[in-house]
Amino acid sequence: MRIAIISDIHSNMQAMEMALQVIDQCRVDQVFCLGDIVGYGANPNECVELVRSRCTQIVRGNHDLAAVDLSHAKHLPPHGQIAAKWTFAQLSDENRRFLAWLPFRRVIDDCTLVHANPGNVLSWAYVNSLEIAVCQFPHFTTPLCLIGHTHVPSVCGENLHGSTLVKGMKFLINVGSVGQPRDGNPQLSFGLLDTNEWTYENIRTEYDVDGAAEAIVAAGLPRSLALRLSQGT
Ligand code: ZN
């Protein structure tokens, strides 16, 4: 089975549409989504509807939580709070209900899916160092745990062995962000897993960054949220 794994779309319709175009060329069997469908960008409803129509397994991110329950927005950075309030007002009732029902953790065959970390799903703690990564392995029983949240793609093997998948060894895979990459590379990021070949690849592709940035400004959202897209920060 070939599975595309997307995460952290953040209401960036331009990036999401391009990701799905590339995913179609990859002839995948399924698309998994690791959450943060909304927040920061200008097209929350469009992105929720694309995820609803294309993704077979979906977990909820902290921005998806804040966009339907603003009491959780206080945990976001200042511009994230502004975007959460804006998103809350924009979402259709149907899309809000959809986000509100999403689970925080899913286990499907070889994969555990969570947004931030498997150790304490609702802590939203970042896995952004090897020390933190190594502590996550006791918290999932499948060969693979798929995460997002940091917006920085990475592959970490159990006991910090390399980044090429090996049968019989557990791996923690961060698929990066479709809609707001933060590793200095503005190209959208997603993961491509082949469970027959037991291979994983991080895919990076250019998309209409200017279009997404212009939409953010036109929506009246903070300009820094538009600027960071071209910087990959
Ligand atoms: Zn995110």
Q: Write down the pLDDT at residue 162.
A: 73
CB-CB contact of 38 with 86 (8 Å): no
CB-CB contact of 115 with 95 (8 Å): no
CB-CB contact of 4 with 26 (8 Å): yes
Which residues are within 5 Å of ligand 1 (an ion), measured at CB?
8, 36
Dist. CA 150 → ligand 1 center (Å): 7
Dist. CA 168 → ligand 1 center (Å): 30
Token pair belonging to 186: 């503005």
- Nearest-Å Rg of the Cα atoms of the chain is 16
Token pair belonging to 159: 């006991």
Cα 96 to its chain centre, rounded Å, is 18
Going along 91-182, which residue ranges are E strands?
105-108, 111-114, 144-147, 154-157, 171-174
Judged by DSSP in three states, 131 sits in helix
Which residue pairs from 133-139 have beta carbons closer than 8 angstroms and sit at least 24 positions apart in sequence? 133/160, 133/172, 134/159, 134/160, 136/172, 137/170, 137/172
Q: Tell the burial category of 12 from Cβ atoms under 10 Å away from its Cβ (0-12, 13-18, 19+).
A: buried
Dist. CA 183 → ligand 1 center (Å): 13
Q: At what angle do helices 209-218 and 13-25 cross, to 10 degrees?
A: 150
Dist. CA 29 → ligand 1 center (Å): 25
Instruction: Give pLDDT tens digits along the chain (233 positions).
Output: 999 999 999 999 999 999 999 999 999 999 999 999 999 999 999 999 999 999 999 999 999 999 999 999 999 999 999 999 999 999 999 999 999 999 999 999 999 999 999 999 999 999 999 999 999 999 999 999 999 999 999 999 997 767 789 999 999 999 999 999 999 999 999 999 999 999 999 999 999 999 999 999 999 999 999 999 999 99
